[in-house]
C-alpha cells in the first residue's frame, strides 16, 4: 500500500475529540472581601471564578469539595459575579479614538466603555458631554450582573428568591448545601473564594510560527490545537476580548512530504473550520501553517510560517 495513503487511513481511524476544560478552578481558603479576593486572584491566577454553564459549576464544586473547605466548615465562598447597578460613575474623554482604543483606555483608567440601559443613564451621559452634538463611543449592552473580567453570561444559578438586593454593592457567594446555589451578599463581607486560571492566552507579540511554537513551549505548554467546536469557541472568546493581528497563529502545520495538516499536540485534523477558498494543499517553497481570523466567523487560513502574527498558547495540560 502507498505510504501516504496508509498514513491517511491511519489518521481517519485515530480521529477523536479530546476533552479538556476551558479553565481550571482553585479554592482559596482565606477570608477576604470581594475586592480583596479579586485582587488576589488577578495577582496569582487569572481572575475570580467565572461560571458560564452547569458543567463549569460542577467542575468548580468538585474542586471546592476536594479541598480544605470540608475541614474549615465554610458554608459559602465568593465567585466573580458582581452587580454593577447603582455603583457607576461616568467620565467624558474628549480625545478622539477608535472604538477599540476607547475600550482599552476605559479599561486601563476606569472600568469599561459605558452601557446605556435606560433614559436615566442616557440623560447622565448627555450631562457629561454638555448636550453638545459630538459623537461619542459607548459600550455594548450588558445587564447589571457581570463577571470580574467584565464579561457577560446568561448562565445563573440563583437560590429561590435570589438575588434579593441589599445595602451597598452586591456580589455573588456560593452557599454550600445539597444544591450549591448562589446568593447575593454585601461585597464587603469576608468569605473564602475561588480563582480560575484560563486554559488559553493570547500573546500580543508578533512572531513567526516557529518562534511562536518555541515561546509557548518555553513559557506555557504549547500552541493551541483546535480539535473541537468547543475549543474553537474558546479561541473565539480570547480573540474577541483582546486586540490582535488580523489573524492569529494556532498549532496547525502542513506537511508537504505526506500531504496532510497536523496539530502540534499530535492530534489528527478531524475538526476543521477552513475559510472558503483556502488552499489547504498548498506546497509553496515556504512551509505553511494555520492561523485563525480575528474578524467574521473566525475561520482558518493558511499562511507562510515566516509571517509575523500574534498567537494563542495553552497555559496548562488538560487533566
Report strand pairing: 309-314 vs 247-255: parallel
203 — phi, psi (to 5°)?
-95, 115
Tell me the helices (H) and strands (E) count for the chain, helix number first.
8, 14
The number of beta carbons lying within 10 Å of the beta carbon of residue 102 is: 18
Q: What is the pLDDT, as a whole number, of residue 132?
A: 59
* 235-260 pLDDT, tens digit each: 988 887 777 899 999 999 998 888 88
Q: What is the pLDDT, as a whole number, of residue 229?
A: 86
Query: Tell me, what DSSP letter sits at residue 95?
Result: S
Locate all alpha helices (DSSP H) within the chain, ordered by sequence.
3-14, 34-44, 54-65, 69-72, 99-109, 119-128, 209-219, 229-240
Query: Could you tell me which of 314, 294, 106 has the C-alpha nearest to residue 203?
Result: 314
Task: Dump the DSSP string for 78-91.
Answer: EEEEEE-TT-----
Phi-psi region of 130 (alpha: psi -120 to 50; beta: other; left: phi over 0): left
Q: What is the pLDDT, as a whole number, of residue 9?
A: 35
Longest dimension (CA), the chain: 78
Q: What is the pLDDT, as a whole number, of residue 74?
A: 61
Query: Tell me, what DSSP letter sits at residue 268?
Result: B
Q: How far is 287 from 227, CA to CA, in rounded Å?
A: 21
Residue with cell 505510504: 3
Q: How far is 37 from 312, CA to CA, in rounded Å?
A: 27
Cβ pair 90, 126 in contact under 8 A: no
What's the sign of the alpha-carbon dihedral 150, 151, 157, 161? positive
- How remote is the C-alpha of 155 from its chain's centroid? 15
Domains and CATH numbers, the chain: 3-18+199-314 (3.10.100.10), 23-84+146-198 (3.10.100.10), 99-143 (no CATH)
Query: Could you tell me which of 251, 253, 238, 252 has the C-alpha nearest to residue 204?
Result: 238
The number of beta carbons lying within 10 Å of the beta carbon of residue 94 is: 7
Residue with cell 516557529: 210
pTM of the model: 0.58
Burial 32-65 (b: 16+ CB within 10 A, else e): bbbbbbbebbeeebbbbbbbbeeebbebbbebbe
Residue with cell 450631562: 127
What's the sign of the alpha-carbon dihedral 170, 176, 177, 181? positive
Where the chain has pLDDT below 50, the residues are 1-19, 140-142, 319
Query: Could you tell me which of 87, 97, 20 has the C-alpha nearest to residue 315?
Result: 20
Partners of 223 in the beta sheet?
313
CA dihedral 95, 97, 100, 104 (to 10 degrees): -30
Amino acid at each position: 500500500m502507498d505510504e501516504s495513503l496508509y498514513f491517511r487511513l491511519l489518521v481517519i481511524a485515530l480521529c477523536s475529540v479530546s476533552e479538556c476544560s476551558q479553565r481550571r478552578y482553585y479554592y482559596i481558603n482565606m477570608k477576604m472581601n470581594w475586592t480583596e479576593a479579586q485582587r488576589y486572584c488577578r495577582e496569582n491566577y487569572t481572575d475570580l471564578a467565572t461560571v458560564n454553564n452547569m458543567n463549569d459549576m460542577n467542575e468548580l464544586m468538585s474542586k471546592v469539595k476536594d479541598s480544605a473547605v470540608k475541614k474549615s466548615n465554610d458554608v459559602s465562598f465568593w465567585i466573580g459575579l458582581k452587580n454593577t447597578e447603582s455603583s457607576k460613575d461616568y467620565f467624558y474623554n474628549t480625545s478622539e479614538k477608535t472604538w477599540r482604543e476607547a475600550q482599552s483606555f476605559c479599561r486601563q483608567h476606569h472600568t469599561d466603555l459605558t452601557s446605556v440601559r435606560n433614559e436615566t443613564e442616557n440623560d447622565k451621559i448627555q450631562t457629561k458631554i454638555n448636550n453638545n452634538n459630538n459623537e461619542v463611543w459607548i459600550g455594548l449592552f450588558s445587564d447589571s450582573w457581570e463577571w470580574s473580567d467584565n464579561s457577560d453570561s446568561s448562565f445563573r444559578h440563583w437560590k429561590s428568591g435570589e438575588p434579593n438586593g441589599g445595602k451597598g454593592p452586591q456580589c455573588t457567594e456560593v452557599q454550600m448545601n445539597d444544591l450549591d446555589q448562589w446568593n447575593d451578599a454585601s461585597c464587603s463581607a469576608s468569605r473564602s473564594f475561588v480563582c480560575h486560571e484560563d486554559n488559553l492566552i493570547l500573546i500580543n507579540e508578533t512572531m513567526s510560527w516557529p518562534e511562536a511554537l518555541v515561546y509557548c513551549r518555553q513559557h506555557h505548554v504549547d500552541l493551541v490545537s483546535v480539535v473541537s467546536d468547543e475549543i474553537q469557541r474558546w479561541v473565539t472568546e480570547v480573540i474577541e476580548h483582546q486586540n490582535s493581528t488580523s489573524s492569529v497563529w494556532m498549532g496547525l502545520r502542513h506537511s508537504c512530504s505526506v500531504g496532510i495538516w497536523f496539530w502540534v499536540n499530535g492530534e489528527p485534523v478531524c475538526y476543521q473550520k477552513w475559510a472558503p477558498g483556502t488552499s489547504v494543499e498548498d506546497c509553496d517553497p515556504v512551509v505553511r501553517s494555520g492561523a485563525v481570523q480575528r474578524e467574521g466567523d473566525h475561520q482558518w487560513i493558511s499562511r507562510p510560517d515566516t509571517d509575523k502574527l500574534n498567537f494563542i498558547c495553552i497555559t496548562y495540560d488538560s487533566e
